[in-house]
Amino acid sequence: MRSLLAWSRIVRASRRTMATGTKKEVIGIAQVNPNVIKAQYAVRGPILDTVNAVEKQLQQKDHGLSFSEVVKVNIGNPQALKQKPITFSRQVLAACAYNELSEKDVFPSDVVDRARMILNSCEGHSMGAYSDSKGIKVVRQHVVEFLEARDKHPADTEKIFMSNGASEGIRMVLELIATGEGKTRSGVMIPIPQYPLYTASLQELGMPAVPYYLDEDNGWKLDANDLYRNVKAARETCNPVMLVVINPGNPTGQILTEQNMKEIIKFCADENLVLLADEVYQENIYAPEKSFVSFKKALRDMGPDYENFQLISCHSTSKGFYGECGQRGGYLEVIGFPDDVMGQLLKLASVKLCPAVAGQIIADTIVKPPHVGGPSRDLYFKEKAAILDSLAERAHLVSKSLNEIEGVSCNPVEGSMYAFPRITMPEKAITAAKKVGLAPDALFCKEMVEQKGICTVPGSGFGQKEGTFHFRMTILPPLEQLQRIVVDIKDFHKEFSTRYA
């Protein structure tokens, strides 16, 4: 941060150069928000520079590479990797976009009805009008029906905030609670490894992230005793007010047990923390013996002692069996907060005017499938089952194949869309990485793009126990392509290990 004196020097200097016609910039890197500079977002980070360079090389005639395209398994972007959208969702969106289609006998009757129902809840009966800042009322009602059917506990439309993907909702909540300075600054407990949205957003907001470690040797279990130790230590430097749990895990793929979830809720109650449950992968369950239980259900099952517990849960249209990332649909359920605080959250939403209506429409089709007996219902569930069955097969293939590679171990991908294998790192690779200013697993991932055209994300972008190394890859490519990818990874890992042996 510049002193005033330094600033006036810059101003004077710039005025001098102005006279000669070459003006100094007002905003150079030294004038940029330092919290922004600190923020790191590995999923779309420096690895993409390597990808761009390789893709440029591929455009040349004799590029000399052993592959013809870069496969992006760095990000959970299902439709980019050829997953087909759910027909009902897209028909409803098309009918809302161009309502004249509804009169043209192009769509099944339940598509027409759903589009009409949504548009009737939009001002001017148009998806081009701003919606309520919390979202279209009928969509929020459908979210409530979905939550009540899922949890067997009541929900409330006034506690639902639709948002542009889950990310925007999460950032809004973090902004809401950013207060205090120094030791009183509100801190947020996040899992390590974590989805880097959290560290990036906290860095932007100048809020301390208080890490707690998931236990890799125990299927990425969350150790409640460890939580108590960590929060106690964190109180020396900041004021932890929130715990983030990602379930099913990202990047780790585990599904928490109900018992473990209740320990976590009890911990939050004991230590006076809000619980932020990132449940965007709730439909992505592959382990046959496991099922998804929401934190809302676990909490309400714990009875009236926990009535005033503050819980925020988020969901998204980007994941699940629909994978509609580009639509930016999602929502928060916010419970246990007093009205005046809810008013502040609504104000934050109001300044953004409203969430994208297309995303809200897609969200509606996800929380409320076509009704029983409707012409679209069978196809909807057929498409859903085909995608989820295939994802389960791919999840199994990836963890199995990775575990067959010497020097690689990977917990089962029970849920979500990722494998997060641990790799042994030769000493010479660690030294080589240091020389070029990279984390060792960043070097591994960079070279895997250059040699095999496979783009993953280094474990260092998510956080990992000191001295361990990982990478994250999605399980999303079509099965046949995925089979080739795991072979390529095996070959690359062998070559890498030999070269740096």
- Find the binding residues for its own copies in span 249-268 (CB under 8 A): none
The correct pick among 53, 130, 153, 404 for binding its own copies (CB under 8 A) is: 130
Characterise 188 by phi-psi region: left (phi > 0), alpha (psi -120 to 50), beta (else).
beta
CB 472 within 8 A of CB 423: no
- 129 interacts with its own copies by CB under 8 A: yes
Considering CB under 8 A, how many residues would be counted as binding its own copies? 120
Do residues 58 and 68 make contact, with C-beta atoms less than 8 angstroms apart?
yes
Q: What is the CA radius of gyration of the chain?
A: 24
Nearer to its own copies, 189 or 402 (CB): 189
Selected from 9, 33, 153, 499, the binder of its own copies by CB under 8 A is: 33
Of 374, 246, 379, 253, nearest to 315 by C-alpha is 246
25 binds its own copies (CB under 8 A): yes
Indicate if the alpha-carbon torsion angle 41, 444, 82, 55 is positive or negative: positive
Q: Does 41 bind its own copies (CB under 8 A)?
A: yes
Return the structure tokens found at 157.
């439309």
Q: How far apart (Å, rounded) are the C-alpha atoms in residues 340 and 336?
A: 12
| 333 near its own copies, rule: CB under 8 A | no
How far apart CA 284 and CA 91 sit, in angstroms, is 23
Binding residues for its own copies restricted to 354-373, rule: CB under 8 A:
354-359
Are the C-beta atoms of residues 6 and 28 closer than 8 Å to each other? Answer: no
Q: Decide: is 335 part of the binding site for its own copies (CB under 8 A).
A: no
Of positions 74, 121, 186, 411, contacts its own copies by CB under 8 A: 186
Residue 237 CB, shortest distance to its own copies, in Å, is 10
Strands 311-316 and 330-335: antiparallel
Q: Residues 449, 324: contact at Cβ < 8 Å?
A: no
Q: Does 437 bind its own copies (CB under 8 A)?
A: no
Residue 462 makes contact with its own copies by CB under 8 A: no
Q: Which stretch binds its own copies (CB under 8 A): 58-66, 77-85, 140-148, 386-394?
A: 77-85
219 binds its own copies, rule: CB under 8 A: no
382 binds its own copies (CB under 8 A): no
Q: Residue for token digits 């580009």?
A: 326
Quick note: the x/- pattern for its own copies over 84-113, rule CB under 8 A, is: -x-x--xx-xxx-xx--x--x-x-------
Site for its own copies in 262-301 (CB under 8 A): 269-274
Shortest Å distance, C-beta 499 to its own copies:
31
